[in-house]
Structures are given as C-alpha cells and as structure tokens.
Amino acid sequence: MRNIEDVVKDIDSFFPMNDEWEALDELVEEAFDFNDIRVVKSLLFVLERNPEHDGYGTFWSIVHALENIGNYEKELVKSVLNKPHAMSLLMLHRLLNSNVHLIAGKPIVEIFREVSNNSKFTKGHRETAKHYLSRHAM
C-alpha cells in the first residue's frame, strides 16, 4: 500500500491525457481509503484546475470522498472564493440542505452572494450561485 504523501503528490500532479479521467478516479478511491484530511486541498484543487470540466463522473467521487473525510468545509470556502466549480458550489448547497448555515462564522448564503456578484468568475458559476442563493436566501 502506498503512503498518503504519494497519493497527494499524484493527485496534485494529475492531468488527464487524451481526456482520460480514470486514473484520477483511482487516485480519489485511494485517497478515500486513507480517510485523511491531508487530501482535502488536493481534491479541491482538482476542481479549481478544471473549472469548466465535469470529469466524466470522477468529480462526484471527489464530492463523496470529501464528505466522507469531513472537516473540509473551511477549505471548500477558500476554494469556492478562489475559483468556483459547479461541484464545489453544489457541496455548499448540500451543506445548507443538511442544516449547516455557517462555515467559520460566515453564512453560506453570503458565499453564494459573493460568487454571484464577482465578475472574475464565469457567467455559469455566477448563475449557479444565484440559483442556490434564490433557494436559500431569507
């Protein structure tokens, strides 16, 4: 069995060749097996590096791995505010649906508001944030 440092290094350096994502899916599975907080930033960074790609289902594996590991919420907020991805926005939405309203004292609806109003993000990400905001804003 490989160690966690090698798995993190491989996730950090992953780049799909010929649009093949299976190797990442295997790395995410390996990271999931470790259930170690050290993979959180690396998994979120995959989403940041590929803001317009869906990973052909692999990104769902990232969502499930992060939710299983837990304690990823602060890093998720940093990632969303740096470079949102449809899946990172979805994770915030899922947190709201599970009655988590604050992350590190910051309301999740405010995070959606920041993304929806920030012109440095794509129109699609701003619209996704607006959609979630409309479902949860009071």
Quick: pLDDT tens for 35-54. 888 999 999 999 999 988 88
Task: Enter the tokens of residue 41.
Answer: 């930033």
Four-CA torsion 103, 115, 136, 110, nearest 10 degrees? 50
pTM (two decimals) = 0.92
- 111: buried, middle or exposed (CB in 10 Å: 19+, 13-18, 0-12)? buried
Name the percent of the chain lying above pLDDT 90: 78
pLDDT at 136: 80
pLDDT at 57: 87
pLDDT at 138: 58
Nearest to 74 by CA among 41, 112, 115, 113: 41
Low-confidence ranges of the chain (pLDDT < 50): none
With b for 16 or more beta-carbon neighbours within 10 A and e for fewer, the 79-99 pattern comes to bbeebbbbbbbebbbebbeee
